[in-house]
Amino acid sequence: MLCSVDVLEEGGRVSVGESSWSVLHTPGHARGALCLWEPRRRELVSGDTLLGHISSTALLEPDPGGFRRRTHLQYRASLERIRGLSPLVVSPGHGVPIDGDLAPLLDQRFAFFERRAQVVRKLVDEGHRTPWEIAGRLFPTLPPSATFLAVSEVVGFLDLLAQRGAVLFEGQEAGRGWEARRQTPGRRET
């Protein structure tokens, strides 16, 4: 029988035996994603925020105060936060623990993000204007059950490109969507 429930929040503490773990809010994959950090031993329980064998998808989520959350941008910030901790051991929500220097794994993830962003940009340049169209080009054999993951990933990379000024969201009306912004000599993208 459950006697009580404690809500975990950023800055909170969880004690397990002799260890005291800090609660870190690491949004991106999910709005409520948390990691537990034990600084003395430099151990991190990462849940789905950091997996050793695959990059978590930053899922589309509504934002009660606006249009939607920019989850891929949040996810990148969470990974950078983890990088700054320099954990020696990471226990993910799936798979085996990650031991040693995380820098190569995180560098690999960010390199993948850059490559994927460039592919998405190229597809926008070719005239694919909606996340649905771009996801279909990126993942042509994707089963219908994975469509939400694919569209979430595409929107995340469109958000990244928009932050950099490389694409612009033109609206949801018919025939509109994302548009590539062109580089003008001597000026930033317009």
Q: What residue ranges do the domains of the chain occupy?
A: 8-101, 128-190
In this prediction, residue 12 carries a pLDDT of 85
Cα 35 to Cα 56: distance, rounded to the nearest angstrom? 14
- The predicted pLDDT at position 180 comes to 62
User: Does pLDDT of 39 surpass 80?
Assistant: yes
4: CB partners within 8 A, 6+ apart: none
> What is the structure's pLDDT at 115?
97
Question: pLDDT tens digits, residue range 170-189?
Answer: 765 555 566 666 544 444 44
Q: What is the pLDDT of residue 175?
A: 56
Q: What topology is assigned to 8-101 in CATH?
A: Metallo-beta-lactamase; Chain A (3.60.15)
> What pLDDT sits at residue 170?
73
Distance CA 178, CA 142 (A): 22
| pLDDT score of 59 more than 50 | yes
- Give, rounded to a whole angstrom, the gap between the first and last alpha carbons of the chain: 60
Residue % of the chain over a pLDDT of 70: 89
pLDDT of 172: 56
Among 46-55, 59-68, 69-78, 138-147, the minimum mean pLDDT is found in 59-68
Determine which of 93-102, 117-126, 161-170 has the lowest per-residue pLDDT on average.
Answer: 161-170
According to the model, what pLDDT value does residue 8 have? Answer: 87
